[in-house]
Amino acid sequence: MRIDIITVLPELLESPFGASILKRSIEKGLVEVHMHNIRDYTNKSYNQVDDYQFGGGAGMVLMIEPIDKCITALKAEREYDEIIYMTPDGETLNQRMANGISLLKNIIILCGHYKGVDQRVRDAFITREISVGDYVLSGGELGAAILCDAVIRLIPGVLNNETSALTDTFQDDLLAPPVYTRPSEYKGMKVPEVLLSGNFPKIEKWREDQAQKRTEERRPDLLE
């Protein structure tokens, strides 16, 4: 899988892709992640990529020309399955969406900034708009990192145990059940006996029951 991220602040994304699972997936060659600085595609003085919005109002807007040049250059090299724009008014990211995106070959992620991007960018280039929640961030970079993390961990070979992702919260529209590790008793707090029994059918049934119970208590909307 190849992910091209278009941003005015590529340095914000250095840390998420420089450690842990995302770093290892890149080193293994399971995913390619390329950052593209919008400022490299402007001919304005001082590398300007934003301007005041027509009609007045507070906040600067990313201009269409440098974004057009960047996307056009990328599309000249390969076909893209999706061109995604990170924006608070997009469809809210969920596990099913991440599952679907993980099956794609090439995607572009455009990070908004300031007051957003010229609407013509969204009209002409964007195939999908995604939000990470009903709140506003300073830019789309952190949202892009969240999307990439959710997607990349689903690619076969990224996790040491590939079945781990299949039992994550939301994969079957249920919250994950409680988990425990050693010691089996700590300061009077004990691990449920069934988990120590070695009876795997009973353990699996317990986990299913606990997932159902936790979902009913915390996220009943998932069961509707």
Q: Classify the phi-psi angles of 94: left when phi > 0, otherwise alpha if psi is within -120 to 50, otherwise beta.
A: beta
User: Using an 8 Å Cβ cutoff, are 3 and 148 in contact?
Assistant: yes
| pLDDT tens digit sequence for 81-105 | 999 999 999 999 999 999 999 999 9
Per-residue model confidence (pLDDT) at position 150: 97
Taking the C-alpha atoms of residue 126 and residue 102, their distance in angstroms, rounded to an integer, is 18
According to CATH, the superfamily of the domain at 172-223 is tRNA(m1g37)methyltransferase, domain 2 (1.10.1270.20)
Confidence of residue 12 (pLDDT cuts 50, 70, 90): very high
Binding residues: 112, 132-137
Q: State the pLDDT at residue 116.
A: 93
Paired tokens of 60? 């600067």
Q: Does domain 2-152 have CATH number 3.40.50.800?
A: no
Q: In this structure, are residues 31 and 4 in contact, taking their beta carbons and an 8 Å threshold?
A: no
Binding residues for S-adenosyl-L-methionine: 112, 132-137
Amino acid 224: pLDDT: 84
Helix (H) / strand (E) containing 66? helix 64-75
pLDDT computed for residue 139 by the predictor: 95
Q: What does the domain layout of the chain look like in residue ranges? A: 2-152, 172-223
Band (pLDDT 50/70/90 cuts) for residue 163 is: low
Lowest mean pLDDT among 6-15, 102-111, 125-134, 164-173: 164-173
Q: Residues 116-156: pLDDT tens digits? A: 999 999 999 999 999 999 999 999 999 999 999 999 999 99
In Å, how far are 204, 217, 220 from 223, measured between CA atoms?
20, 11, 5
Give the confidence band of 77 by pLDDT, cuts at 50, 70, 90.
very high
Q: What is the pLDDT of residues 103-115, one digit of tens each?
A: 999 999 999 998 9
Structure tokens at 101: 């995106």
pTM, full prediction: 0.90
- Non-local (6+) Cβ contacts of 73 within 8 A are 41
